[in-house]
Amino acid sequence: MSGTDERAEAGPGRRRAPGPRPGAGAAPCTNGPTPWQTVGPYLALGFSPLASRSAAPGAPEARGTIRVTGFVLDGAGVGIPDAVVESWHTATALAAPPGDGAYIHPAGDGTAFFARGLTGPRGEYELVTARPAHRPGGGDEDQAPHLEIVVLARGLLRALRTRVYLPDEAEANERDPVLRAVADPARRATLLAALGDGAYRFDIRIQASGGEPETVFFG
Amino acid sequence: MSIEIDPLEEVDPASLDPPYAHPPYRSTVLRSPRHRLLKIPAHLESCTGPVFGEDVVGALDHDLTRQHDGAPVGERIVVAGRLCDGGGRPVASQLVEVWQANAAGRYAHRDDDHDAALDPNFTGYGRCLTGPDGSFRFVTVRPGAYPWNNHPNAWRPAHIHFSVFGRAFTDRLVTQMYFPGDPLLGFDPIFNSVTDPSARARLVASLDLELGEPAAALGFRYDIVLDGPRPTPSG
């Protein structure tokens, strides 16, 4: 509960103490889990402030950064203009600060990276982030470099989770315990980005469309 | 591939969360996967999540009524609660983001063509970091209901969107907070996509006068519980 000093500050036109104050802290959380709900069509209002700002076209990228671009597509093969793609992964710390205009969010100890890209009118998105590192697990458990991905959109009542693996890590991908365990080779291939023009290309198909299979999603 | 490996199991679709395909909410039809989700074994999951520092959050980012020169139109409210894991333990220092319509039911978003007034003193975006006890607190105005074109004469009940991070990236949760006693709740296909009545009730805030500010703002409590706990990070 707020103290009387804080209450005295409250009211129109008065400045309040900065930051959130403990207001509801006394009671324990005894509820069950809070269910998901869709982000709705106006997600950009909530997600733009922390979204990636890509480097200006032609600008050199900082060493150690990668760019992942692609489309988020619905069951008719149409791009979804009101979606957001988020990535999370570990990487070695960047040798140099990100390039001019690039926004890379280092979280925690500086070797973990979060990036967020909103889709444009054709469903296109872009993530600029650090190149992911190998994740040693020991023996057969070594994981190839990958990004953990969350997709949210109007019409998605809960998040979709997937992974982006890199095509120039073929040897590590062959050994990756998650990739190897996707039984259908055509669907396994949906987890691999393609080499594009200065970027990795990774399309996310929420349903099969245009002769291409549905992307593998994880629960 | 030299070594045979068991294929990933499919996730049992039974859940307190909404299904992906929920035809009463029309947009889900083409935006829901047809295959079942595959389960990544727990030991191969990433055990840590984003950690956002104080640099991400400005001093007044939690107060949506103080982002412009003037005060926004509407009923000023405080929305406060705690972010906890599935064991009831507080989740500290995590980012909470909210966005919402203004008091007239209009979003400050270029695609919102609802014929209701925009408020030059209200953007409708806020954020904060949870405190050591998992607490968060926002000051805002009560959003209005608004029409949408899902079905004839469809109206969304008043709601505030919440986006939270947990200790692991797999804890990520985005949801909507509704207001108690709203007669539109029974008609809303998004709210009712959660079929379990007690789980659905957890989407509704409760009036809590103690959380408000006398003569200034009504208080609402909204606790958010993640579907954990997940394994303790082991590095």
User: pLDDT by residue (tens digit) across B201-219?
Assistant: 999 999 999 999 999 999 9
Rounded to whole angstroms, the Cα distance separating A216 from B73 reads 46
Which tokens in the block code for residue A173? 């991908």
Q: Which domains does chain A have, with CATH numbers?
A: 38-205 (2.60.130.10)
Report the Cα B30 to chain-centroid distance in Å.
Answer: 23
> What whole-number distance in Å separates Cα of residue A103 and Cα of residue A51?
8
pLDDT at A203 over 50: yes
Q: Which residues contact A145 (CB under 8 A, 6 or more apart)?
A: A89, A131, A132, A133, A134, A135, A165, A166, A169, A172
The answer to whether B159 is a known catalytic residue is yes
Cβ-based contacts of B108 with chain A (< 8 Å): 45
Among the partner residues A22, A174, A207, nearest to B1 by beta-carbon distance: A174
pLDDT at B56: 79
Cross-strand pairs, A66: A129
Q: What percent of chain A has pLDDT over 70?
A: 73
Interchain contact B150–A (C-beta under 8 A): no
Please tell me the predicted confidence (pLDDT) of residue A95.
Answer: 54
CA-based nearest residue in chain A for residue B41 = A178
Taking the CA of residue A135 and the nearest CA in chain B, the distance in Å comes to: 10
Q: What is the mean pLDDT of chain B?
A: 91
Q: So what's the pLDDT on residue A53?
A: 59
For residue B230, pLDDT over 60 is answered with no
**For A148-202, how does the pLDDT look when each residue is reduced to its tens digit (9 = 90+)?**
999 999 999 999 999 999 999 999 999 999 999 999 999 999 999 999 888 999 9
Buried b (16+ CB within 10 A) or exposed e, A84-95: bbbbbbbbeebe
Are B232 and B42 within 8 A, CB to CB? no
Whole-angstrom distance, CA of residue B138 vs CA of residue B63: 6
Span of A37-46, A59-68, A123-132, B198-207 with lowest mean pLDDT:
A59-68
Distance CA A118, CA B23 (A): 25
- B167 shares contact with chain A (CB less than 8 Å): no
Q: Which of A92, A96, A139 is nearest to A113 (CA)?
A: A92
pTM: 0.89
Residues of A in contact with B144 (CB under 8 A): none
Using CA atoms, how far residue A119 sits from A29, A71, A133, B200, in Å, is: 35, 8, 26, 30
Measured CA angle at A125 (ends A122, A128), to 5 deg: 160
Pick the range with the lowest mean pLDDT from B38-42, B157-161, B188-192.
B38-42
Distance of CA B223 to the CA centre of its chain: 11
Q: Provide the pLDDT for residue A94.
A: 60
- Check if A33 contacts B (Cβ < 8 Å): yes
Mind listing the pLDDT tens digit for each residue in B21-34? 999 999 999 999 99
Q: Is the pLDDT of residue B144 over 70?
A: yes
- Minimal-distance CA residue of chain B relative to A30: B88
Q: What is the pLDDT of residue B68?
A: 96
ipTM summary value: 0.93
Report domain extents, chain B: 51-225
pLDDT band at B43 (very low <50, low <70, confident <90, very high): confident
What is the CA angle B64-B68-B72, rounded to 5?
60
A56/chain B closest Cα distance in angstroms: 23
Instruction: Name the least confident of A63-67, A98-102, B84-88, B214-218.
Output: A98-102
The dotted CATH code for B51-225 is: 2.60.130.10
Task: Spell out which residues of chain B touch residue A157, defining contact as CB-CB under 8 Å.
Answer: 17-20, 22, 25, 28, 32, 190, 193
* Tokens found for residue A50: 């922390």
Give the amino acid at A204.
I
* A68 beta partners: A127, A200
The arithmetic mean of pLDDT across residues B93-122, rounded, is 96
Between positions 27 and 66 of B, the ones with CB within 8 A of A are: 27-41, 43-44, 46, 48-52, 56-57, 59-60, 62-63, 66
- What integer pLDDT is reported at residue A107 of this predicted model? 60
B125 is catalytic: no
Provide the pLDDT for residue A28.
64
Chain A residues whose CB is inside 8 A of the B50 CB are: 88, 105, 107-108, 112, 114
- Which of B6, B25, B99 best tests the A interface by mutation, with the highest count of A CBs <10 A? B99
Would you say the C-alpha torsion B197, B198, B199, B201 has a positive or negative sign? positive
- Element of type H or E holding A9: helix A4-9
Specify the pLDDT at position A160. Answer: 97
Instruction: Inspect the interface and report whether the beta carbons of B211 and A153 lie closer than 8 Å.
Output: no
Question: Does residue A21 carry a pLDDT above 50?
Answer: no
For residue B226, which of B174, B154, B166 has the smallest C-alpha distance? B166
The yes-or-no answer on residue B161 being catalytic is: yes
